[in-house]
Amino acid sequence: MGRFAPSPTGPLHLGSLYTALASFLQARSQQGKWLLRIDDLDIPRNVKGAADAILRTLDSVGLYWDEQVIYQSRCLDSYHDSLNNLRQRQLLYPCSCSRKDLMAVTVYNGICRNKSPQPDIANALRLKTDSRLISFEDGLQGLISHNLAKQHGDFILKRKDGIIAYQFAVVIDDNLQQVNQIVRGIDLLTETPKQIYLQQLLGMPSPDYMHVPIIVDQHGYKLSKQTRATAVDLTKPHSVIFNLLCLLKQNPPLELQHTPVTELINWAVTHWSIEPLKNSKQVNA
């Protein structure tokens, strides 16, 4: 069971669709389901109409999802139930540190761990980490090991503005949807040990992970909304998918360059191989 979980902060760009295609092909090549979740918790960054535009884009390029689309904003009770679980076990504490306070801090040093909470000040909720080593075998990047306490410190599960943090919500979501294989960009690789730690604390199984390379522009920057990556051009969806298959190092035959997108997707599912992507960190657009 795989999934794609975009944020509705704008239209899909090539970098996002690259990851979507990789996760789709990995799931379908194993006769698995591919689920779609809209990560819409960060309300200030959401763009009106973006979620519907994402669905239309995926549909246009032949990436058809299974089951109903899940929206994080409708799952708040599940997040708070798990927060209460951790709170009752005294694994959470309020943190009033501002970004300015932490500008010179690379690893959070637990400054608020033993402070008394100040009710008149906005607080984030941090999770206590310990010295255990979190290790996992990434399907593309090999063995990854992190000591969370030393490399990350106590991390935030709920922001000062009340919004549930990404690495907490995604753990709950994936467990609820019974996702057992996650394919996503290598830019999220360092977040994975935090998520596995949470899975261990909450008694949840850990999925298999596979972090694909990111697409970079001519200046070496990751394609993203922050770098003003443009929306996917849907006038020729088969050309978009053909080019993405080339970027995924699948070497589609040239005679498929003008075939309907559904035929191209079917070919890609049958011939999907992760071997050409192993240990690859980035590809050029």
Q: What is the pLDDT of residue 46?
A: 94
**268: Cα separation from own chain's centroid:** 23
**What is the mean predicted confidence (pLDDT) over 269-285?**
90
pLDDT at 105 over 70: yes
Q: Looking at per-residue confidence, does 229 or 139 come out higher? A: 139
Q: What is the pLDDT of residue 224?
A: 63
**What is the mean predicted confidence (pLDDT) over 191-204?**
97
Q: pLDDT-based confidence at 220, cuts 50/70/90?
A: low
DSSP 132: P
Give me 196's structure tokens.
């596995």
Q: What is the pLDDT of residue 156?
A: 95
The alpha helices in 32-165, defined as continuous H runs, are 50-60, 76-88, 148-151
Q: What mean pLDDT is reported for the chain?
A: 92
Per-domain residue ranges of the chain: 2-75+169-284, 77-167
Q: How far apart are CA 104 and CA 54, in angstroms?
A: 38
Q: What is the pLDDT of residue 228?
A: 53
Ranking 89-98, 230-239, 275-284 by mean pLDDT, the lowest is 230-239
Provide the 3-class DSSP secondary structure of residue 181: strand
The alpha helices in 177-224, defined as continuous H runs, are 192-201
For residues 149 and 129, the answer to whether their CB atoms sit within 8 Å is: yes
CA atoms within 13 A on the CB side of 36: 20
Q: How far apart are CA 175 and CA 40, in angstroms?
A: 18
CA atoms within 13 A on the CB side of 69: 17
Give me 73's structure tokens.
């904003």
CATH code, residues 77-167: 3.40.50.620
- Tens-place pLDDT, residues 30-78: 999 999 999 999 999 999 999 999 999 999 999 999 999 999 999 999 9
pLDDT at 219 over 90: no
Strands (E), 7-103: 34-38, 70-71, 92-95
- CA 208-212-214 angle, to 5 degrees, is 150
For residues 131 and 149, the answer to whether their CB atoms sit within 8 Å is: yes
Residue labelled with tokens 């005679």:
255
pLDDT at 191 over 90: yes
For residues 169 and 145, the answer to whether their CB atoms sit within 8 Å is: no
Q: pLDDT-based confidence at 149, cuts 50/70/90?
A: very high
For residues 3 and 174, the answer to whether their CB atoms sit within 8 Å is: yes
pLDDT at 282 over 80: yes
For residues 125 and 83, the answer to whether their CB atoms sit within 8 Å is: yes
Q: What is the pLDDT of residue 235?
A: 86
Q: How far apart are CA 231 and CA 189, in angstroms?
A: 25
**What is the mean predicted confidence (pLDDT) over 100-123?**
82
**250: Cα separation from own chain's centroid:** 23
Give me 70's structure tokens.
């899940």
Cβ neighbors of 182 (< 8 A, separation 6 or more) are: 2, 3, 23, 174, 207, 208, 209, 210
Is it true that domain 2-75+169-284 has CATH number 3.40.50.300? no
Q: How far apart are CA 279 and CA 285, in angstroms?
A: 18
Give me 155's structure tokens.
């991390």
User: How many contiguous H segments (helices) and E segments (strands) does the chain have?
Assistant: 8, 12
Is 0.85 topped by the overall pTM? yes
Give me 168's structure tokens.
């907490």
Q: pLDDT-based confidence at 241, cuts 50/70/90?
A: very high
